Amino acid sequence: MILPIVFAVLIAIAHYWSDRFCKVCREFGEQMFSFVAGIATVYVFLGLYPEFYRQARFLSPYAMTSVLLGFAVLYVVDKEIYRKTSRSERRFDLEMAHGVGLMAYYLVVGIALYRLTEVSVRSGVLFFIPVFIYSGISAMSLYGLRLTDARKTELSYLEMMQGFCVLAGAFIAQFFFIPSSFMIYLVGLVAGILTYVVFRDMLPKGKQGEPLYFVVGGAIYLVLIAVLWTL
């Protein structure tokens, strides 16, 4: 099928241009950061989790442990980085760890996108839209990060790999058989990883952020999700 490959290319492009888009967003400071955080939060709870539940509801309740595992693994990695790296290296190492987690997310997105579009074009489109929007704002997780130019270049290569993972996932689904039960556990795993990344990297900390913009961003995206549910 060509359509899921097209969807994967569009998501990869959105992710690649996310950094350029978010550089413009940062000119508006904490207001835009809070707005994007609201969108990302609604995406996790009302976009990613319902999709996982729809696939996992026929399996054992133990399928939910994959979400916990994804969250816990990244948490443990973070703590090990804090314990074993110097302050100067810590920010970069954390971003690398979260970036690898996002690579897993995009790989599974590519697989799920192909599988859902194969079932029906409608299912593929409904899955594609929220993922595409999230991909366009994902670079906001680097908001306020102070890195050297060399480190920023290394992270930009990682972002390119994340975009490539979407295409790789779609091609894997096209040429290899993946059992549905295994796929569901993979989706749960990356749901846990992405939950940690969003709450750790994208939500404003302490006195930072503007609650009103967070609510507005979440409300606008909630309306979009509600419209998609009615289709």
pLDDT tens per residue across span 65-84: 999 998 998 888 888 877 87
When pLDDT is averaged across residues 206-215 and rounded to a whole number, the result is: 86
This prediction's pTM: 0.76
State residue 214's pLDDT score. Answer: 92
CB 119 within 8 A of CB 36: no
Q: How far is residue 195's CA from residue 67's CA, in Å, rounded to a whole number?
A: 9
State residue 145's pLDDT score. Answer: 45
Between 88 and 43, the higher pLDDT residue: 43
How far is residue 193 from each of residues 85, 93, 148, 200, measured CA to CA in Å? 22, 16, 26, 11
Q: Which two tokens stand for residue 137?
A: 């704002």
CB 175 within 8 A of CB 118: no
Query: Measured in Å, how far apart are the chain's first and last C-alpha atoms?
Result: 23
In the three-class reduction of DSSP (H, G, I as helix; E, B as strand; rest coil), residue 113 is classed as: helix
